[in-house]
Chains A and B, each alone.
Chain A
Amino acid sequence: MSDRRHPTAADAARLHADLAAIWANRPGLGALSAVNHGTIGLRFIATGFAFMLVGGLLAMFIRLQLAWPGNTVLDPQRYAELVTMHGTTMMFLFAVPIMEGFALYLIPKMLGARDMPFPRLSAYGYWCYLFGGLLLYASFLFDAVPRGGWFMYVPLSGREFTPDISADFWLLGVTFAEISAVAAAVELVVAIMITRAPGMAIQRMPLFAWYILATSLMIVFGFPPLIVGSILLEIERATGMVFFDPARGGDPLLWQHLFWLFGHPEVYIVFLPAAGVLSTLIPTFARRPMVGYSWVVLAVLGMAFLSFGLWVHHMFTVGIPLLSLGFFSAASMAVAIPTGIQVFAWIATLWSGRPELRVPMLYVLGFFFVFVLGGLTGVMVAFVPFDWQVHDSHFVVAHLHYVLIGGLMFPLFAAFYYWLPLWSGRMSQRSTAGAAFWLIFIGFNLTFLPMHLTGMLGLPRRVYTYSSDLGVDVLNMLSTVGGFLFAFGVGAFMLDLLLGWRHGVRAAQANPWQASTLEWSLPVPPPNYNFAGVPAVASRDPLWDEPRLPKLIAFGERYLGIARDGAREMLGTSPLDGRPEQVIRLSNSSWWPLAAALATAASFIGVLGSFYLLALLALAVAIGCFVGWAWSTGDRRAPDRLEAGGGLRLPTQYAAHNAPGWWGLAVFLCADATAFAALLFGYVYLWLSAEAWPPAGWPPPAAGPALLFAALLVASSAAIGLARASLRRARLFRRWFGAGLGLGLLALALAGWILLDGLPPPTAHAYASVSASVLGFAWLHVALAWLVALFVAERHRRGWVDAGRPLELRVAQVLWNYAVVVAVLAIALLVLFPRVL
């Protein structure tokens, strides 16, 4: 640049060209190696939308079959399959991924960041999602379509009643998609915590970021119970170990608890991002800041926490004591408080603003009508006696569609219209958009309003036909007609969006909605790198309070208006106050994520088809891909500190305190710890319903080997700690680190021996199965930590890790200590629990 303090237009143009070259995706098929958040976000959105259409098509068949009694469009098995796939598709392959796509696309832009902090992880997450969905639908090709309902209750989905591999398609396909969700969640938490624009302190974050932060943390804590449950069910089906079969000490309710521990937070995970869209649109269209920012944050965090206390309200009829049901009934009503606070904040903002009925607002108003109705029926079913009347009837179908379609789909459609000008520069017309909206609104209500009545008249869920005696013939026909109307509406919406994209009115200005959030400061369409210059932010509504920002950004102000070394760089800031702390160097396009996802998919397919050799080989390849991926991070030639603009020289992430890798590990360990807790919950739950623990004849695991195992691990931890302390003296470091590795290996061998020899045969009784699972979990984690430590040892040997760049060692040490804690807890449980209780 010619003169840093007064960049010229030519300088700005050169900066943009340089950045564009660095951030460009590879051409042609090379685009499959893209990792930047814009591309990945759009892929999530497009794929999610496609799955929505497929799920909708399945719904059309369901409605066709139910149009009149005794219909024969679908036979009972096919009907069960389509109902299962409709629910599974909508919940796992549409609702969560599409909002993840919006989050991946918008969060960096709203936060003033160039990209997400782990671009290759985003890409890996996308491929896992796509392959998981394809795997699930491949079941049609093998005539093994899952048919146990979207929640796959045991014993129906156990080996006895579902002997074919349909349930395994579900378990593996859904687990694959969930890995994607957890990966994205980890990344979004890190992005929101440490990559905000300088000056964007936590109380200045756009509300959408608070919603996504809460949602991501809910995914981190809410998905693992289902992942654990799915793995346990898969193990039970594949090996004959027992967790859910009461004949050998299992309990089918354990599945229900694990599923709904996930399942209830899941619906809030679906709703919150959409509510975040509303909290973004409403202030824009009311042309004033949101009323009660703190109250909205209260509502978001309140909903996030309380939603974890509701899960048994899906199990009100299983025979749990009334007092216990009472807790969940109370909590289910309590969650209406923060939900209501949020709605009142929206109403207050519209009331005290100067709202205008632009196209997105149509869907916002539609949301208010539909979601509030759904919320009211939700409070109705929160009352245990009422729920006992309508459980498993179409009343619940009505409720869930009102809250999900009202709470997710309407805001989603609003979001499409709202951000269309950002991406395409064109806007939709009110006339055509209005027509599509009314078709959708009327069609939806015509479909689902009658179901409140049919449910109360006694029409159960998931039945493939019904008797005329029930008196619901006309209502069902109405629902089917409404369903087709609804489908036409969605088609009209798609057409309208397409027309708007291609032929819509050109937005007269940048920021056509006059919004206040940073994504509207970008050129249209936004370049891959978003911001040529990372702005400094001083308020909650940066574009309203600092109208010069777009110009400053375009001219490379204030930070990182530099293109160097062909490197993709972004700024890292402190979690609470947004003080610039580090320059984060990101990955360029890479094939590792796709390769790793393919290997993971092959491994899952191996398990599915019982080709266990293939599964193991593919797993080894996947691990190899992860090693290659990890090895390619870092740059030995990079300087310790980098010029960051604005007069700052900042460390790179390898030397920074709040490094993305450290944060990513911390958030991931929260998810992992939740999985461990879910497994321990399973152990205690099975103990509670057992007559004797261990069952008659078996001794608890011997204390001696267990104590030795724990001692070896604690010693290994100490050795690793000493190694870290002597990082400046390479010889000493290698000695201590080697000692740690050796002790760890001994511990692994001992644990293997205890697993194989110190416990009763795992298939004999649930006690043995769950004990083996707990110890197996611990073994896997110590093994993983050991592999990571070996990796870091080699990295140190080759000069990638030293006292000045200790990040990888920090990560390895935290992971090691975590694994040790898990393993010690596991062995303590196995040895002490049967003796003490």
Chain B
Amino acid sequence: MRPLIRFVQHFPLLAAVAAMIVWAIHFLLVYAGVGLACARGYSTTAVLLWLATTTVLALLVALAITLAGFDRARRPETPPHGQRRRFLARLSALLGGLALIAIVLTALPMLLVPPCR
């Protein structure tokens, strides 16, 4: 986990949008998963399990990113790049909030509509 975080922090802009990338990956897994399952005739339980697992994982990662962003944004600005770091941390937190909402909204249909109909 640590080396991954260090790698991402090397690209601060990427780190700032990390939560939206998590949303995108979740969306892809969810849509592709249902598509595959329906084409291959997997059971409803399997589909719901897949959806629930990916959603929970995505929410946890997005939440971690959001909280890390808020935490970083609260630290005092230290020159020479404090303003920029604070801005990007704040952006990361805000995008994290949006990603959390979007992940929840995306997954909501699984509570309302049975798969493969």
Contacts and interface: CB of A to CB of B under 8 A. Distances in A.
B91 A298 contact: yes
Highest count of chain A CB atoms <10 Å: which of B83, B106, B114: B106
Interface string B1-23: 00000000000110001001101
B12 A306 contact: no
Interface in A506-538: none
Given A201-B84, A294-B91, A305-B20, A334 B105 contact: yes
Contacts of B20: 301-302, 305-306
Interface string B84-117: 1001101100110010011001101110111111
10 contacts: A202-B87, A306-B23, A309-B27, A309-B106, A321-B115, A327-B106, A334-B101, A577-B81, A577-B84, A688-B40
A572 interface: no
Category for how many chain B residues contact A: 35 or more
Interface string A313-348: 000000001111011011101100110000000000
A674 B102 CA distance: 23
Interface in A80-116: none
Contact of A326 (B23, B40, B102, B109): B109
Given A305-B24, A576-B12, A323 B34 contact: yes
A298 B97 CA distance: 10
B80 interface: yes
A689 interface: yes
B30 interface: yes
B109 A330 contact: yes
A575 interface: yes
Interface of A: 201-203, 294-295, 297-298, 301-302, 305-306, 308-309, 321-324, 326-327, 329-331, 333-334, 337-338, 575-577, 688-689
Nearest to B97: A298
Given A201-B84, A327-B30, A327-B109, 9 more contacts: A297-B91, A305-B24, A306-B20, A308-B24, A321-B34, A326-B109, A327-B106, A333-B105, A577-B80
Contacts of B101: 334, 337
A201 B109 contact: no
Given A294-B94, A323-B110, A331 B115 contact: no
A265 B81 CA distance: 34
A248 B106 CA distance: 35
Contact of A295 (B23, B94, B112): B94
B49 interface: no
Contacts of A322: 113-114, 117
B9 to A, nearest CB: 12
B84 A323 contact: no
B31 interface: yes
A298 B117 contact: no
Contacts of A689: 39
B98 A323 contact: no
Contacts of A324: 31, 34-35, 38
Given A333-B105, A688-B35, A294 B87 contact: yes
Contacts of B88: 202-203, 576
B84 A326 contact: no
B36 interface: yes
A338 B98 CA distance: 8
Contacts of B23: 305-306, 309
A337 B104 CA distance: 14
A309 B90 CA distance: 24
A576 B84 CA distance: 8
B80 to A, nearest CB: 7
Nearest to B28: A309
B29 to A, nearest CB: 11
B19 to A, nearest CB: 9
A306 B102 contact: yes
Contacts of B34: 321, 323-324, 327
Contacts of A294: 87, 90-91, 94
B117 A321 contact: yes
A308 B102 CA distance: 13
A426 B83 CA distance: 39
B39 A576 contact: no
Given A202-B87, A294-B91, A334-B102, A309 B116 contact: no
A503 B81 CA distance: 49
A334 B31 CA distance: 16
Contacts of B39: 688-689
A667 to B, nearest CB: 13
B80 A688 contact: no
A295 B95 CA distance: 9
A301 B23 CA distance: 13
Contacts of A575: 13
